[in-house]
Amino acid sequence: MKSILKYINDYQNKYNKSPSFMIRTYGCQMNERDSESISWILSKEGFVETNNMEDADIVIFNTCAVRQNAENKLIGNLGDLKHTMEAKNLEKIIMVCGCVMEIDSSRQFLEDKFKHVDIIFGTNSIAILEDLLEEHLSTKKQVVNIDSINLKTRETIGQNRKYNFKSYVNIMYGCDNFCTYCIVPYTRGREVSRDAKDIIAEVKHLVNSGVKEVTLLGQNVNSYGKTLDPQISFAELIYKIADIDGLERIRFMTSHPKDISKELIYAFDEIDKLMPFLHIPVQSGSDRILKLMNRKYTREDYLEKIDMIKSLKRDIALSTDIIVGFPDESDTDFDDTIDLIKRVGYDQAFTFIYSTRPGTLAAKMKNQVPDDIKNARLQRLIEVQNDISLEKNKKYLGKTLNVLVEGTSSKDDNFYSGRSEEFKLVNFKANEEDIGNIVKVKINDVKSFSLNGEKVEDR
């Protein structure tokens, strides 16, 4: 990589420091994990990560294609950055990657309208980022690559983890569900599961480096193992990971309701390391809308699994995703959704206004819901869910929770925050040396989105 080496040496000789990079990540945990790999690649070459976009010599936007709003933010940020570079005579290398770049029309728009973007690459091109940077530095031309790489090549990439005590672990890639509103199967590809032995080896390595908690990632973790020979179920994988000495917590994202098994549900009672929290996206409470969405389950199917979860000995905290204003959604359909969230009693719901994504079946559907109706429904949904979340949190008053301390609170530097076993955000007074440790916190105040408490010293 002669051009990269020359760039770094020239920069160090001129400024007496190493060149820096900054990554802005949009979207899901899969994108966050990809950004950790990008950070590792650039750090290995000699670049230093920074949080300041203006100071960064390389700026990377890791994009999300799930909703139009994220793509709009990207366009706005690129325009703002171009203006800043021109106004202050700054030289930067700009990269755009991620799911949006897998959409032909979006990628072409970027190539045509944003000539100051130097490198464009897809979700499967991260492993060759060094080659792309080398090509740009040697030719000074825009470089575009969205070629796929095989799974084994992808798994050779390291990661610069945000936390040294918890980590994401990819167990599979892609999605085979083809929900009519979702672009992911077209941007991330079809489902491919990693070998269990490779996953277990990675988790063991992480634990040996100090990791206490792992979150297993996949677009639909419940279908893990179907592409392997011999097949292995997701629940079987969790049992194997739970046997790893030193690992204290296991989480996973994201579950598709149609594939969640009895074996997996019962695992919550049988595996102490499996945290009592389950994200199980319902998207709508209406059978008619669920069918239009191609979700492949009914309201009754979903509620049967919720009832099974609630019958466990452990109390499992539940969260969900809900889309408001899907094409042809009527007031009755929306009322069904409100009724369902009251029936389930979610601890938390991630609510979204339906966003048309090019290339999906839903984008071509008739009877698109007007924006004013979407906004009104979303507001009502949020109000109902906030009340439910507050009531769910009230049961923690006076209780002592085990909290993995992550750092200072985003709202008050005098407080620290972390996640309970139930994935509740907990704020409390602590010390810097508590970061990365699991401490006991007695809850004395609750809000809809967080809990406040006092650290309890072990006696």
Residues tagged in the binding site annotation for [4Fe-4S] cluster:
28, 64, 99, 175, 179, 182
Q: How far apart are CA 156 and CA 387, in angstroms?
A: 46
| Region of 337 on the Ramachandran plot (φ > 0 left; ψ -120 to 50 alpha; else beta) | alpha
- Please list, in sequence order, all residues whose beta carbon lies within 8 angstroms of the beta carbon of residue 272, skipping any fewer than 6 positions away: none
CB 206 within 8 A of CB 167: yes
Tokens of 168: 């994401």
Q: How far apart are CA 356 and CA 361, in angstroms?
A: 10
Hey, what long-range contacts does 266-271 have (CB within 8 A, 24 or more apart)?
Answer: 266/312, 267/235, 267/238, 267/239, 268/309, 268/312, 268/314, 268/316, 269/312, 269/313, 269/314, 271/238, 271/239, 271/242
Q: How far apart are CA 307 and CA 328, in angstroms?
A: 29
Tokens of 6: 């020359």
For 199-225, b/e burial (b = at least 16 CB within 10 A) is: bbebbbebbeeebbbbbbbbbbbbbbb
Binding residues are 28, 64, 99, 175, 179, 182
Q: How far apart are CA 57 and CA 320, in angstroms?
A: 39
Q: Where are the beta strands (DSSP E) in 132-217?
A: 143-145, 166-170, 172-173, 192-193, 213-217
Half-sphere exposure at residue 126, Cβ-oriented, CA atoms within 13 angstroms: 31
| Region of 407 on the Ramachandran plot (φ > 0 left; ψ -120 to 50 alpha; else beta) | left
Radius of gyration from C-alpha coordinates of the chain: 23
Q: How far apart are CA 75 and CA 49, in angstroms?
A: 23
Backbone angles phi, psi at 178, to 5 degrees: 55, 50
Closest CA to 420 of 458, 386, 451: 451
Which residues make beta-bridge pairs with 119? Answer: 95, 143
CA angle, corner 206, sides to 407 and 65, nearest 5? 70
| Region of 358 on the Ramachandran plot (φ > 0 left; ψ -120 to 50 alpha; else beta) | beta
